A and B are shown apart, each in its own frame.
Chain A
């Protein structure tokens, strides 16, 4: 037992490094791919632990997978739909014959909007249920909470939500956008449209703060102007004072990284204050079709959002997906970006498993490199280095029916760059990281 533990630890020590250590040149990119192989070579005697776990997940002609989302608490408003989409994909795959001719069996756990609970449940899924893969998490905080668990117990997580970047765990596949597939192009788009004076409004947690650091550097480099920066606690419901500040700062556009329920309060109250999109444009990166339903389309008319997928995205795969989703969960339900990412993540994993001929994490990871798939939002491809996904960037405008009209897209899948290595102006940001 003891030796097994130390082998695990040795395996994850380098993996943990990129997040916590200042990256001088580019050790971050190299570390994750190197991590799983090296320690096993240096300590050949103790190679049993990792392989043992996933093997047990295939029993009696089925493969066990875990789903870990908040089904209670404040995050349930967003996460239950992603859980539904994941279940839909699994059902479809099973109907088509399963993975490697085996049926997929699901273990659903409730993260309860509480990060330590996410850690507990992921531990349970990996070490008790011995699932081959987990689909789940929404907030950055929940992902950060389960990350050490997945690295230490050598699990595999498919994470479906756009996030703040600066992370590359060998045990996580990121099927949502990183910053250069959502925020950076959105800011470019705004500047190009002449909306240079921007006000940054976000909920008080890691994603908005990191995103806004990036935007500030970008504005500086590209001749934009920062009109103000404001954070409100998660769950804040009165935006009267924030709107006073917005009026005083008078920006051309509000770049909003508000999350969850706060969006409802913000947009309702913004409209009441007489600020419509023609007077002050907003662009949100955490408001999708599902959220618009709660906000009310009339309160958000013609405001912008940036994503990789809209329900209106015109692809054959999407037509099929939206139909299947509505058929299963109700005609009044809508699909959106994280729902789509939760859906195609299952397909990516099943294709990787088929290709690898195994559910072992290392083999699946190897097989997933450069894997392509026709997702509802267009062609996606798993990046061979960072395990993020190449995705098309889209900017949409809210219509009266709560759907989006796409006003711009990137023309094709954009290479994910979680550390923004390809952007000169982002150099300063990385000092100390």
Chain B
């Protein structure tokens, strides 16, 4: 990988570009877009953060998680609990009342503290991921089995959150918030502020992952994806690395969840379930896995299409959405980014392409392999 050698120069350049794009998005878009469209974009950007998290785990390290909705949800719930307490003032959150609770459950109390809640946004998903990771990676569970286990996790989380209505709000989830850290959510300024924070977090996450994957550690991740046993032979412990990556990925998804909930105004167990978790993977696949910017694009394109199509064709938008998934796999197996890269490659000739497309061109041949059952 070329970038690694001239890391500093490239790093500075890329950081500058990302910072410029972020700044542009923060300054210009609120002026151009209606409040509703801006809120929609902000929601897509939180999804883009999850897509980055999944790309790290899947695109680079080969762990296809079908349960990232859970981590996203945990982060969202952690902040939602705080906002629910804020909205309830000294009383109980509304859903506890109609579920027959008379007192605030003990584990809710610390969430009154905003800092604690913010910490939990990261800690809860990270702990769960670390626990599950240690359990399954130590047991050398790989490939499809890992995917199906994470899918089971999504189902379990949904069942538990639905079943514990007095503590979690059940199917309804948590909604009807009023303020976040004292800032009224209905105010345009708060919404624009949250949008700006989302853009910045997305930019920072992108850069952090770009440097991580471009570094020596990144090479290890790709080595795990492509040939785990060989890496073990070289004296590395792939299980440990995988636990760390999975945990980091979960924590990022948690942050995305926390950004989602005040902007969308609701979090429900349905957001943690199997369907949204698979959709998250689809964003990454449509965008182009193993590229970081691809998944961001994928999250925005897929969700934009979903919103747009369902507005225009409420009765049969699912045909278009389904066709889009099928089409993207058949026509652009490497995602949007891969398709563009191939186009560029054709134009410039095969020789010089590896310089321009960088990581993309490198990762293409192995892009399909991560999930293969290695038995």
Contact = CB atoms under 8 A, between A and B. Distances in A.
Q: So, do A and B actually touch in the complex, CB under 8 Å? A: yes
Interface of A: 1-2, 4-6, 8-9, 12-13, 16, 19-22, 71-72, 108-110, 112, 114-116, 119-121, 123-124, 127-128, 139-141, 144-145, 147-149, 152, 164, 166, 204-206, 209-210, 213, 231, 233-234, 431-433
A166 B317 CA distance: 36
B264 A120 contact: yes
A213 B97 CA distance: 12
A209 B99 contact: yes
A63 to B, nearest CB: 20
B172 A149 contact: no
B339 to A, nearest CB: 28
- Identify which of B91, B100, B175, B314 gathers the most chain A CB atoms within 10 Å of its CB: B314
Contact of B95 (A123, A206, A213): A206
Q: How large is the interface on B (under 10, 10 to 19, 20 to 34, 35 or more residues)?
A: 35 or more
A158 to B, nearest CB: 18
Contact of B102 (A152, A164, A431): A431
Contacts of B39: 123
B311 A5 contact: no
Which 9 residue pairs across A and B have the least CB separation, nearest first? Answer: A5-B187, A20-B94, A205-B171, A433-B97, A110-B314, A141-B172, A432-B102, A9-B186, A148-B176
Nearest to A5: B187
A395 B58 CA distance: 56
* Majority-rule SS of A interface residues: helix
A109 B314 contact: yes
8 contacts: A4-B188, A19-B176, A20-B87, A115-B172, A116-B266, A120-B264, A144-B172, A209-B99
A18 to B, nearest CB: 9
A2 B188 contact: yes
Contacts of B265: 119, 148-149
A210 B98 CA distance: 7
B92 A209 contact: no
A116 B165 contact: no
Given A2-B188, A22-B91, A119-B266, A205 B172 contact: yes
Contacts, number: 148
A320 B239 CA distance: 70
A1 B189 CA distance: 8
A15 B98 CA distance: 17
B189 A20 contact: no
B177 interface: yes
A128 B36 CA distance: 7
A231 B166 CA distance: 14
A115 B268 contact: yes
B170 interface: yes
A133 B266 CA distance: 22
Contact of B171 (A5, A108, A204, A213): A204
B88 to A, nearest CB: 5
Given A21-B91, A110-B317, A119-B264, A144 B170 contact: no
A148 B307 contact: no
A71 B309 CA distance: 13
B187 A2 contact: yes
B215 interface: no
A65 to B, nearest CB: 14
A147 B94 CA distance: 13
B184 A119 contact: no
Interface string B92-130: 111111111110000000000000000000000000000
A145 B171 contact: no
Interface in B295-323: 307, 310-311, 314-315, 317-318
B287 interface: no
B15 interface: no
Interface of B: 34-37, 39-40, 43, 87-89, 91-102, 159, 162-163, 165, 170-173, 175-178, 184, 186-189, 264-268, 270-271, 307, 310-311, 314-315, 317-318
A323 B339 CA distance: 56
Contacts of A1: 188-189
Contact of B266 (A20, A115, A139, A140): A115
Given A21-B91, A233-B162, A432-B97, A140 B36 contact: no
B188 A5 contact: yes
Contacts of B93: 20
A145 B101 contact: no
A22 B315 CA distance: 42
A140 B102 CA distance: 22
Given A20-B91, A206-B99, A209-B170, 17 more contacts: A19-B176, A22-B91, A109-B311, A119-B266, A120-B43, A127-B36, A141-B171, A141-B173, A141-B268, A145-B175, A164-B98, A166-B98, A204-B162, A204-B163, A205-B162, A205-B171, A233-B162
Contacts of B94: 19-20
Contacts of B315: 71, 108, 110
Contact of A145 (B40, B100, B266): B266
Nearest to B162: A204
Contacts of A431: 102
Given A166-B98, A210-B98, A16 B178 contact: yes
B264 A206 contact: no
A166 B95 CA distance: 11
Contacts of B189: 1-2, 5
Nearest to A22: B91
B170 A213 contact: no
Given A114-B270, A148-B265, A9 B184 contact: yes
A427 to B, nearest CB: 14
A116 B268 contact: yes
A4, A144, A433: residue with the most chain B Cβ atoms closer than 10 Å: A144
A258 B152 CA distance: 25
Nearest to B95: A206
Contacts of A12: 186
A204 B315 CA distance: 29
A175 B367 CA distance: 54
